[in-house]
Chain A
Amino acid sequence: MKYVDEFRDGSLARLIADRIRREAPADRRYNLMEFCGGHTHAISRYGVADLLPASVDMIHGPGCPVCVLPIGRIDNAIALAKEQGVILCTYADTMRVPASNGVSLSRAKAQGADIRMVYSAADALRIAQETAAREVVFFAIGFETTTPPTAVVIREADRLGLGNFSVFCNHVVTPAAMSAILEPPPQVRDGGSVWIDGFVGPAHVSCVIGSRPYEYFARTYQRPIVIAGFEPLDVMQAVLMLVRQLNEGRHEVENEYARAVTREGNLTAQQLVAEVFELRSSFEWRGLGEVPDSALAIRQRFARFDAERRYGIVYRPVPDNRVCECGAILRGARKPVECKVFGTVCTPENPLGSCMVSSEGACAAYYTYGRFRLKAAAPAAV
C-alpha cells in the first residue's frame, strides 16, 4: 500500500534500530513518553519495543480520549439516553467503558436505551435530520483531532435551524494535559509519578494545532518533544531524534511528521474551533484529576446545541474502582502489568478500567499484543 508500507519497512527499521543502539549507551536511561494512544498502539502492534535497546523505555501517556474520560461523564451520557429518552450517538470506542453500577453504554443499549454507534459527527447530524420527532445528542469526545468535525456539525445544525440536535461536549486539549503530567495536580501526586526525559509528540493532534503550542512547554519544562506520525518507523525515527537531543543537552520541539504537520497547523480548523468552543476553566481527567484550562465548552452563541445547558446536566465526580490502576497508568507512573488486576479480573472482555477498553489504551495494547512476553518466563496458567 503506497505511502503506508514505506513506513513499516523492516530493513529501514533495522537501520534506525542500529543507530539508536549505537547512540543510546547501555549505562544511560532514556525515559520517553509517547503521549498518544495511537503511538502506544503502533508500538505494540508492530513490535517496535523489540527493536529498541534496553536503555530506552517507552512510557505510555494519557492521549487516549476514551481512557481519560471520567466515569461521571459516561454516567451523564447514559442518563441522557435512559432518562431523557434521547437518541445518543457515540463513537464505538466509548460503548464498552465501565460506568457506575456496572453499566456501560453497551449495557444500557441492551437494556433498551437508544444508543447508536456512529463513525462521524456528521452521521449524528444526519440521524437528527431524519428523525425530526426525536431528540438526538452527539456524545462528543476526543482531543483536537475530533474537535473540528464537532464544530462543523454544530455550525451546520445552526444553519439548518435544527431543533432536535445537540452535543454533549467532552473535548479536551493536549498541551494542558502534557503540563499536568509533569506537574500533577495536588490530588493525584500521591499516586506516584515518573521521571520523563522527553516526549514523542502527537501526530494527528499536531496536524490541527501545529508544532508551535509545544514550544512554550519545551522551554518551561526543559524537555525535548519530537512530533511523530503514527507509523512504526515514525516512532523509531522520533526516538532517535529524542536520544540525540538528550545526548546533546537540547530541549527543542522537532517535527518528524513534517509530511503532515506545520508550525502553524491547520488555521481553518483552529478558527472553526475558536468560533464554536471556548476553554473551560477546569475539567476532570481520569488519572490526572481536575486540570485547569484543559477542555472545551460550547460558546453562548451556540447554546441551544449544548446538551449540558439543554438538559441541565450536572456533573458528579465518581471515584475509579479502588483496585484499578488506570489513573497511575495514564500518568505513566505505572505499567499495565504492575496493576494487580491486569489480565485477571480486568480483561478486554470484562474491563474494570477504561485503559483495557480502547484499542489505544495501554492495558488493552499490552494484553492484546504483548501478553506472550509476560508469560515467557512464567509457568502456564491452568
Chain B
Amino acid sequence: MSQTKGIYGRRLDFRQGRIEMAHGAGGRAMAQLIDELFVAAFDNEWLRLLNDQARFAVRAGRMVMATDSHVVSPLFFPGGDIGSLSVHGTVNDVAMSGARPLYLAASFILEEGFPLADLKRIVESMAAAARTAEVAVVTGDTKVVERGKGDGVFITTTGVGVVPEGVEISAERAQPGDAVILSGTIGDHGVAIMSFRENLSFETSIRSDTASLHGLVAAMVQKVPGIHCLRDPTRGGLATTLNEFARQSRVGIRIAERAIPVQPEVSAACEFLGLDPLYVANEGKLVAICTAQDAPALLEAMRAHPLGRDAAVIGVVTEDPHQFVQMQTSLGGSRMVDWLTGEQLPRIC
C-alpha cells in the first residue's frame, strides 16, 4: 500500500483517528479508508481492482447465496467480535445447504466518531475469519451516518458458494423416524454476550462459540450425502430451529432433555438470568436431520471434527399434524418446546 502514501498525504491515524462523514462521501477520504484498511486487510485479486463489483468464473453445478446483517452489542465479546461474527454468520448460512462457501461481499454502516482503531480491529478480525473459512471478501461498500444515528458499526455480509451434486439439504425434508443430531453444547454465544452487556455484566469463563462450520459440513456431506436438513440455531436457539424444521416439514419432533449438551457455566448463568438454554443463541453449532440408518455414520463423522466433538443424537422426528416439538424432561415428564415469545435477548448477532 506504500504507493498510496503519495496520493493521500498522511496515512490514516489508526491510533487516535475517528470516522468522519467524509469517509462515506465517495471522495478521497473514502478511497483512502478503502485502500489503507479494507483492501489492505482483505487483500485479494478481486478487491485490488477497486471495481464496484467482483467478477469471478462460475463453476459447474448449483450456486448458493445468503445474506446476514450484524448489529451485535457489544461489538467485542469473549470469543469474538462483530467482525468475525459477520463472516461466520454468512459462511454458515451458505454452508447449511451443504455448499462450500467461496466469496463474500461486505457492507459497513459506520457511525461518525467511531474510533478507527476499533474499526481496524474489527476488519482485521473479519479478514482472519475469512482466511480461516477460505473465503475471499471480494467486494464491499461503506456508508457513514451522523453521530447518534447508528451504534458504532453495523455489518452486512453476503456470501456465495457451490453445492455438490447429489446433495439436497432443505428444511422441508424431515421425515417421521429421522434422527435429530446436535453438533455440540448450546447457549454459549448468548451467555457470552449477556455477560458483557453493560447493564448486566457478570463474570464467566464462557466464550462465544462463533465459528465457521463449512469444514464440519464438508466432512458430514462427504460421509452422508443424503442429509435431509441442516440449520445453525442462532437467534432463538435450538428451540426455534426445531420448530422451524417441524413447520417446514409438517412433522413433529420429540427430543430428550438429558441428551442435550449444555456447559455447566451456561446452565448456571441461564438459571440466575431466568433463561432457558434451549432459546439462547449459538454461532458455531448446527442441527442435522438424517435417516435413522445414516445417523451412526453421521454422528461419527461429526465427532471426528473439532467443531463436532460433543455431537449427540437428541431426538427423533415424529408424525404430528400439530407440528409440535415436545421434550421428555430429565425429571421424567413431558413438555412442549414452543416457539419463542417476544424477544429474549436483543441484538445478539
Q: Interface code A5-41, partner B: CB below 8 Å = 1, 0 otherwise? A: 0001110011001000000000000000000000000
Residue A219 CB within 8 A of the other chain? no
Q: Is the CB of B267 within 8 A of A47?
A: no
Q: How large is the interface on A (under 10, 10 to 19, 20 to 34, 35 or more residues)?
A: 35 or more
In the bound complex, how far is the Cα of B344 from the Cα of A96, in angstroms?
13
Residue A381 CB within 8 A of the other chain? yes
Q: Write the nearest CB–CB distance from A335 to chain B, whole angstroms.
A: 17
Q: A368-B338, A381-B322 are in contact. Are A50 and B332 (CB under 8 A)?
A: yes
Q: Is the CB of B329 within 8 A of A46?
A: yes
Q: Is the CB of B324 within 8 A of A47?
A: no
Q: A372-B324, A380-B321 are in contact. Are A51 and B333 (CB under 8 A)?
A: yes
Neighbouring A residues of B271 by C-beta, 8 Å: 1, 4
Q: A118-B199, A369-B335 are in contact. Are A380 and B322 (CB under 8 A)?
A: yes
- B residues 310-333 touching A (CB-CB < 8 Å): 321-322, 324, 326, 328-333
Q: Which residue of chain B has the shortest Cβ distance to A43 in the bound complex?
A: B333
- A residues 76-131 touching B (CB-CB < 8 Å): 96, 118-119, 123
Q: Is the CB of A368 within 8 A of B341?
A: yes
Neighbouring A residues of B336 by C-beta, 8 Å: 368-372
Q: A1-B267, A123-B199, A368-B338 are in contact. Are A375 and B333 (CB under 8 A)?
A: no
Residue A232 CB within 8 A of the other chain? yes
Q: Is the CB of A47 within 8 A of B329?
A: yes
Q: A348-B341, A368-B338, A371-B336 are in contact. Are A48 and B331 (CB under 8 A)?
A: yes
Residue A45 CB within 8 A of the other chain? yes
Q: Is the CB of B341 within 8 A of A13?
A: no
Neighbour of B324 across the interface among A8, A14, A371, CB < 8 A:
A371
Neighbouring B residues of A9 by C-beta, 8 Å: 330-331
Q: A119-B200, A123-B199 are in contact. Are A8 and B334 (CB under 8 A)?
A: no
Q: A1-B271, A4-B271, A96-B342 are in contact. Are A50 and B324 (CB under 8 A)?
A: no
In the bound complex, how far is the Cα of B322 from the Cα of A120, in angstroms?
39
Q: Is the CB of A46 within 8 A of B331?
A: yes
Most chain-B CB neighbours within 10 Å: which of A14, A46, A49, A232? A46
Residue B9 CB within 8 A of the other chain? no
Q: Is the CB of A375 within 8 A of B331?
A: no
Q: A1-B264, A14-B332, A118-B199 are in contact. Are A369 and B338 (CB under 8 A)?
A: yes
Neighbour of A10 across the interface among B200, B264, B330, CB < 8 A:
B330
Neighbouring A residues of B322 by C-beta, 8 Å: 372, 375, 380-381
Residue B268 CB within 8 A of the other chain? yes
Q: Which residue of chain A has the shortest Cβ distance to B270 in the bound complex?
A: A1
Q: Is the CB of A48 within 8 A of B333?
A: yes
Q: Write the nearest CB–CB distance from A234 to chain B, whole angstroms.
A: 12
Neighbouring B residues of A379 by C-beta, 8 Å: 321
Residue A367 CB within 8 A of the other chain? yes
- A residues 45-84 touching B (CB-CB < 8 Å): 45-51
Q: A119-B199, A348-B341 are in contact. Are A1 and B335 (CB under 8 A)?
A: no
B-side binding surface: helix, strand, loop or mixed?
A: loop
Neighbouring A residues of B200 by C-beta, 8 Å: 119
Q: Is the CB of B332 within 8 A of A13?
A: yes
Q: Which residue of chain B has the shortest Cβ distance to A41 in the bound complex?
A: B274
Q: Is the CB of B199 within 8 A of A47?
A: no
Neighbouring A residues of B276 by C-beta, 8 Å: 45
Q: Write the nearest CB–CB distance from A169 to chain B, whole angstroms.
A: 23
- B residues 241-258 touching A (CB-CB < 8 Å): 258
Neighbouring B residues of A17 by C-beta, 8 Å: 332
Neighbouring A residues of B333 by C-beta, 8 Å: 46-51
Q: Is the CB of B334 within 8 A of A47?
A: yes
Neighbouring B residues of A190 by C-beta, 8 Å: none
Q: Which residue of chain B has the shortest Cβ distance to A48 in the bound complex?
A: B333
Neighbour of A13 across the interface among B326, B331, B334, CB < 8 A:
B331
Neighbouring B residues of A349 by C-beta, 8 Å: 341-342
Q: Write the nearest CB–CB distance from A83 to chain B, whole angstroms.
A: 26
Q: Is the CB of A47 within 8 A of B341?
A: no
Neighbouring A residues of B341 by C-beta, 8 Å: 348-349, 364, 368
Q: Write the nearest CB–CB distance from A204 to chain B, whole angstroms.
A: 13
Q: Which residue of chain A has the shortest Cβ distance to B323 in the bound complex?
A: A380
Neighbour of A375 across the interface among B324, B332, B335, CB < 8 A:
B324
In the bound complex, how far is the Cα of B334 from the Cα of A49, in angstroms?
9
- A residues 201-238 touching B (CB-CB < 8 Å): 232-233
In the bound complex, how far is the Cα of B324 from the Cα of A372, in angstroms?
7
Q: Write the nearest CB–CB distance from B36 to chain A, whole angstroms.
A: 37
Q: Write the nearest CB–CB distance from B49 to chain A, whole angstroms.
A: 45
Residue A44 CB within 8 A of the other chain? yes
Q: Is the CB of A46 within 8 A of B324?
A: no
In the bound complex, how far is the Cα of B274 from the Cα of A371, in angstroms?
22
In the bound complex, how far is the Cα of B136 from the Cα of A329, in angstroms?
59
What are 20 A-B pairs at a CB distance below 8 A? A8-B331, A10-B331, A10-B332, A45-B276, A46-B330, A46-B331, A46-B333, A47-B333, A48-B333, A49-B333, A118-B199, A348-B342, A349-B342, A359-B274, A364-B341, A368-B338, A368-B341, A369-B336, A371-B338, A379-B321
13 further contact pairs, Cβ within 8 A, besides A47-B328, A369-B338: A17-B332, A45-B329, A47-B334, A96-B342, A348-B341, A348-B342, A359-B274, A368-B341, A370-B335, A371-B336, A372-B324, A375-B324, A380-B322
**Nearest 5 CB-CB pairings of A with B:** A47-B333, A380-B321, A50-B333, A348-B341, A369-B335
A residues sitting closer than 8 Å to B (CB atoms) are: 1, 4, 8-10, 13-14, 17, 44-51, 96, 118-119, 123, 232-233, 348-349, 359, 364, 367-372, 375, 379-381
